Amino acid sequence: MATSPTVHVVCSDQHRNGKTLLARVLVDFLVLDGRDPFCIDTDAPDCPLRTYFPGRTALADLAAIQGQMKLFDTILASHGRDYVIDLPARHTERFFQAARDLDFFNECRKLGFRIFVFFVVDNSFPSLKAAYALREEKGIDLFVPVRNMMVRSMWPENEGALTIPFLAAPIASAISNRRFSLREFVNGDPQGLAPDMVVLLQTFLYDVLNSLSGLEPMQAIDGPPDTPLLPDA
């Protein structure tokens, strides 16, 4: 992925389709890569991302103007590191509208940030339409459509996308425990998983992390947003 400090926005127009899981994997991937990401969880009051990274997460409730300003001010006041923003579906349009109003992406660019947007495309035409519309958003350096095989997706298979493979329910349940660290698992700690589950989770994480490691904009930072450049399978 990009070596420049990057703001990663994980979002969708639909709920319960793997956004927080992707944000969680992304944070651990960045840490494993030697970076120091800071998370902004906008899903108040549940705060699912903060559950897994309490020491590196701020809560910003985008339903309030104060929460919106907290999100933008946190990033602009402490540049030079990566950020991961987890947006619930109800806040996705609100976030991008506020970003337009405040010229947030341009201000980020002045500070050396890149903007990567991960949009989980759900199994509906409205979700596909929303993805195509967001792909044209000005100021985004890399738009990454995401196909989650656990919920299906309308994103065409012949167009580049990051794919989240199917994850069996027992494994999904086990790793949802706030004490389960995906990073420690990658580093060799099975954390009580049965051997057959270990193999399945290793395969799942290998596929996702391999895709993340190959993401780079196909055009220079001054060019328009583009679909991701994914590594060969």
Q: How far apart are CA 213 and CA 231, in angstroms?
A: 8
Give, in words, the CATH class of 6-213: alpha beta
pLDDT tens-place values along the chain, 233 residues long: 657 899 999 999 999 999 999 999 999 999 999 999 999 999 988 899 999 999 999 999 999 999 999 999 999 999 999 999 999 999 999 999 999 999 999 999 999 999 999 999 999 999 999 999 999 999 999 999 999 999 989 999 889 899 999 999 999 999 999 999 999 999 999 999 999 999 999 999 999 999 999 888 854 434 445 555 544 43
Instruction: Supply the angle between the helices 89-102 and 65-77 in degrees, to the nearest 10.
Output: 60
Q: How far apart are CA 208 and CA 218, in angstroms?
A: 20
**SS3 label, residue 87:** coil
Which residue, 49, 31, 12, 14, is CA-closest to 212? 31
Task: Give the whole-number percent of the chain exceeding pLDDT 90.
Answer: 86
Q: Where are the domains of the chain?
A: 6-213
pLDDT of residue 214: 87
Specify the DSSP class assigned to residue 16. S
Determine the residue type at 123: N
